[in-house]
Amino acid sequence: MKMRFFWLLSTIIIVISAIAAQAAGPLPAWNDTMSKRAIIAFVEKVTIPGSPDYVPPAERIAVFDNDGTLWSEQPLYFQFYFAIDRVKELSANHPEWKTQHPFQAVLEGDMKALATSGKKGLVELIMATHAGMTTDEFAGIVSDWVQTARHPALNRPYTSLVFQPMLELLDYLRAKFFKTYIVSGGGIEFMRPWTEAVYGIPPEQVVGSSIVTKFEMRDGKPVLVREPKVHFIDDKEGKPVGINQHIGRRPILAFGNSDGDLQMLQWTMAGQGTRLALLVHHTDGKREWAYDRESHIGRLDKALDEARAKGWTVVDMKNDWKQIYPGK
Amino acid sequence: MKMRFFWLLSTIIIVISAIAAQAAGPLPAWNDTMSKRAIIAFVEKVTIPGSPDYVPPAERIAVFDNDGTLWSEQPLYFQFYFAIDRVKELSANHPEWKTQHPFQAVLEGDMKALATSGKKGLVELIMATHAGMTTDEFAGIVSDWVQTARHPALNRPYTSLVFQPMLELLDYLRAKFFKTYIVSGGGIEFMRPWTEAVYGIPPEQVVGSSIVTKFEMRDGKPVLVREPKVHFIDDKEGKPVGINQHIGRRPILAFGNSDGDLQMLQWTMAGQGTRLALLVHHTDGKREWAYDRESHIGRLDKALDEARAKGWTVVDMKNDWKQIYPGK
């Protein structure tokens, strides 16, 4: 009896939600331009039973880059701010960092000096701040940071700098029984502690870069220890590899914003049947940032050419998005 | 209108299925012994709302070893038979294999000579048969093999050698909104082409060992090429690492059958709240095989001691299972 009541209640809720969603129309933060129309046309084609392009729910895999696609990435990737904040916090136990690059540059806020330390310096920073603890400890550190840290230029929590139109798109796709994944160059363990609350994407649907972890017994308790060694870089050619490794199915929709996403879009579009490739083009210097071919962060150059040549959907942030961030 | 009708129909089907499942009672191929009772008691504790041990659906992660847990593994792992069959098929293009170990041993059916080639020989066999093609090509090869190959001793398709009680357990857990995963030492790409049809486990819920794959453009078409290089071994200490990498949540139920599963069970049980660890003990030399501490395949020694010391559920195949394979 209880069981049947539970099911009845669930159904009423589902039916009401579906009707409410239909009444408002999907994607309210999107202007009624080509981009929005392309998305809705695609979703309808693959979800309406009997359509020649119909795709069964199990194969409705949609993959999203994170930095610059689901949230902002300027003037530095937000995970880099996390590393900077960690260096400051850990510096009390590392007096040697005061005179040791790249840590000195971070502590003195000298971004020019930091830039000269290049990729080697970046890896050193990442390892000093992301390794040497258990996976549980690191998840706790990230959760604390995400709840308290603020973007230095905008003085807002980082999780408020997610794109409202993309939150709506994720919801819309899930309502149509798509499975939504993040496939990001960012750290998989840096994202997982907050992606479910912020994007509705659970940890098992997050693909990202990772360092080596090692199983160990500590005081009779098993732990996974994060080691200062790269395991996988989920960027460029790595993205299709990461998708195959984690998902094992080819997506039918892929959304990125930079050359780092090009191979993911190529891989998605090379499958059979109707597919959709999209790029966010950051064109809004007033409400967000405007950058593409010359940017050091999120460079969009080759992928923009290929998108135009192949008719992929290029979302023009300035013209296609009514609203950028939630609540404003 | 159509939408509402669809929802109504879905609900009726769900309610009828739920009532039907309840009427028959879960796990009919299990005898009414301690093991079955432990499983049902656990599942009820974590799924009944208001229970002090209640676990929300999103966190109901259950992980299963494959070889020896979901299907048989004697006298050789079935993936090894796949490699043997592949060597025979490919030998026409490799005349040099006639006099080259370990291939010669395989072609002559000389299992003793094969055994002496040890781990090095095994890796050579795997790489010669599992690498050098695209992921799509490999999936096709595996699908064809699974549909036609037969177990040499039993003369039955390998997929008929899955355990009926485990199929029922997977269904039972999913009906209770568990997410069921395979976490196997076997090859991830060897399992994915058939786990959905055979176990109801989709590709994205399969974790396994893997070789390196590389993104390449071939005639303007992106492919992932399988390279003869180990990427990850999902066995022993690797299993918790694989679980963390793919799922990013700690399971609440883990089911294995050998020492290769010990760390997965330890990792599962080290979380907070009620959890369940289980082992299949192969005790049925008549209906399946009987082996444990001395076996070269699926050795169960340390894990059996730890299970007994810690009160984990050891499923005695002979006494706990009414039926071994589907349909007989």
SS3 category, B219: coil
A268 reaches B (C-beta below 8 A): no
Q: What is the DSSP letter of B178?
A: P
pLDDT band of B1, cuts 50, 70, 90: very low
From the list B203, B247, B266, which residue is nearest A203 (CB)?
B247
With beta carbons less than 8 A apart as the criterion, state whether B210 and B188 touch: yes
Does the pLDDT of residue B302 top 90, yes or no? Answer: yes
Nearest chain A CA: its distance from B40 CA (Å): 17
> Which class would CATH give A26-74+159-320?
alpha beta
Give the pairing type, strands A221-232 and A206-218.
antiparallel
Cα–Cα distance, A294 to B168 (Å, whole number): 57
Which chain A residues are closer than 8 Å to B192 by Cβ?
248
Does the pLDDT of residue B69 top 90, yes or no? Answer: yes
Query: DSSP per residue over B105-130, as a string?
Result: HHHTT-HHHHHHTHHHHHHHHHHHHH
Q: Which residue has better confidence, A17 or B101?
A: B101
| CB within 8 Å: B192 and A248 | yes
From the list A189, A247, A263, which residue is nearest B203 (CB)?
A247
Interface of A with B in 23-82 (CB under 8 A): 58
- How many CB pairs lie under 8 A apart between chains A and B? 101
Cβ-based neighbour number of residue B23 at 10 Å: 7
With beta carbons less than 8 A apart as the criterion, state whether B238 and A94 touch: no
User: ipTM of this model?
Assistant: 0.91
Q: Which residues does B7 contact at the CB level (< 8 Å), separation at least 6?
A: A11, A14, A15, A18
Tens digits of residue pLDDT in B37-67: 999 999 999 999 999 999 999 999 999 999 9
| CB within 8 Å: A3 and B11 | no
Choose, out of B19, B63, B142, B204, the residue to mutate when testing the contact with A (most A CBs < 10 Å). B204
Angle at A320 between CA A317 and CA A326, to 5 degrees: 70
From the list A7, A192, A215, which residue is nearest B11 (CB)?
A7
Window from A246-255, B100-109, B180-189 with minimum mean pLDDT: B100-109
With beta carbons less than 8 A apart as the criterion, state whether A178 and A247 touch: no
Cα–Cα distance, B133 to B140 (Å, whole number): 11
| CB within 8 Å: A245 and B202 | no
Which chain B residues are closer than 8 Å to A267 by Cβ?
215, 222, 224
Cα–Cα distance, B166 to B171 (Å, whole number): 9
Q: Which residue has better confidence, A3 or A52?
A: A52
Q: Delimit the domains of chain A by residue range.
A: 26-74+159-320, 78-148
Read off the tokens for A23: 């009444």
Architecture of the domain made up of B26-74+161-320: 3-Layer(aba) Sandwich (3.40)
- The sheet with strand B253-256 has its strands ordered as B221-232, B206-218, B179-187, B61-64, B253-256, B276-281, B313-316
pLDDT of A112: 86
Does the pLDDT of residue B328 top 70, yes or no? Answer: no
Tens digits of residue pLDDT in B200-209: 999 999 999 9
Q: Is A103 exposed, middle or buried (0-12, 13-18, 19+ CB in 10 A)?
A: buried
Mean pLDDT of A261-271: 98
Q: Give the chain A residue whose CA is nearest to the CA of B208.
A: A245
Which chain A residues are closer than 8 Å to B11 by Cβ?
7-8, 11
Interface of B with A in 226-255 (CB under 8 A): 237-238, 240-241, 244-249
Choose, out of B136, B224, B232, the residue to mutate when testing the contact with A (most A CBs < 10 Å). B224
Interface of B with A in 96-115 (CB under 8 A): none
Read off the tokens for B305: 């001691």
Angle at A203 between CA A198 and CA A209, to 5 degrees: 100
| CB within 8 Å: B210 and A58 | no
Q: What is the DSSP letter of B11?
A: H
Cα–Cα distance, A8 to B8 (Å, whole number): 10
SS3 category, B249: coil
Which chain B residues are closer than 8 Å to A182 by Cβ?
none
| CB within 8 Å: A215 and B263 | yes
pLDDT of A121: 87
pLDDT of A118: 81
Cα–Cα distance, B161 to B170 (Å, whole number): 16
Nearest chain A CA: its distance from B316 CA (Å): 27
Tens digits of residue pLDDT in B214-265: 999 999 999 999 999 999 999 999 999 999 999 999 999 999 999 999 999 9
Mean pLDDT of A273-297: 97
Mean pLDDT of B71-94: 96
Q: What percent of chain A has pLDDT over 70?
A: 92
Choose, out of B11, B63, B302, the residue to mutate when testing the contact with A (most A CBs < 10 Å). B11
From the list A3, A188, A203, which residue is nearest B249 (CB)?
A203
| CB within 8 Å: B58 and A202 | yes
The residue with tokens 């695209």 is B134
| CB within 8 Å: A240 and B215 | yes
pLDDT of A246: 98
pLDDT of B122: 86
From the list A18, A203, A248, which residue is nearest B203 (CB)?
A248
Tens digits of residue pLDDT in A55-83: 999 999 999 999 999 999 999 999 999 99
Window from A54-68, A101-115, A153-167, B148-162 with minimum mean pLDDT: A101-115
Angle at A7 between CA A4 and CA A10, to 5 degrees: 150
From the list A19, A215, A244, which residue is nearest B237 (CB)?
A215
SS3 category, B203: helix
Tens digits of residue pLDDT in A166-190: 999 999 999 999 999 999 999 999 9
B214: closest CA among A65, A263, A299? A263
Q: Which amino acid is at A81?
A: Y
Window from A221-230, A259-268, B112-121, B132-141 with minimum mean pLDDT: B112-121
End-to-end CA distance of chain A: 46
Q: Which residues does A60 contact at the CB level (< 8 Å), separation at least 6?
A: A46, A47, A173, A176, A177, A178, A179, A252
- Which whole-number Å values give the CA distances from A232 to A210, A236, B138, in the listed order? 5, 12, 23
Which chain A residues are closer than 8 Å to B218 by Cβ?
none
B7 reaches A (C-beta below 8 A): yes
Does the pLDDT of residue A42 top 70, yes or no? Answer: yes
SS3 category, A82: helix
pLDDT of B214: 98
Nearest chain A CA: its distance from B263 CA (Å): 8
pLDDT of A185: 97
pTM for the whole thing? Answer: 0.92
Cα–Cα distance, B134 to B145 (Å, whole number): 17
A163: closest CA among A324, A2, A327? A324
Q: Give the chain A residue whose CA is nearest to the CA of B218.
A: A270
Tens digits of residue pLDDT in B112-130: 888 888 888 888 999 999 9
Q: What percent of chain B has pLDDT over 70?
A: 92
pLDDT of B25: 87
User: Rounded mean pLDDT of chain B?
Assistant: 93
- Which whole-number Å values give the CA distances from A129 to A85, A284, B105, in the listed order? 9, 33, 51
Tens digits of residue pLDDT in A194-233: 999 999 999 999 999 999 999 999 999 999 999 999 999 9
Q: What percent of chain A has pLDDT over 90?
A: 87
Which chain A residues are closer than 8 Å to B19 by Cβ?
4
From the list B7, B206, B241, which residue is nearest A215 (CB)?
B241
Does the pLDDT of residue A9 top 80, yes or no? Answer: no
| CB within 8 Å: B213 and A58 | no
Nearest chain A CA: its distance from B30 CA (Å): 25
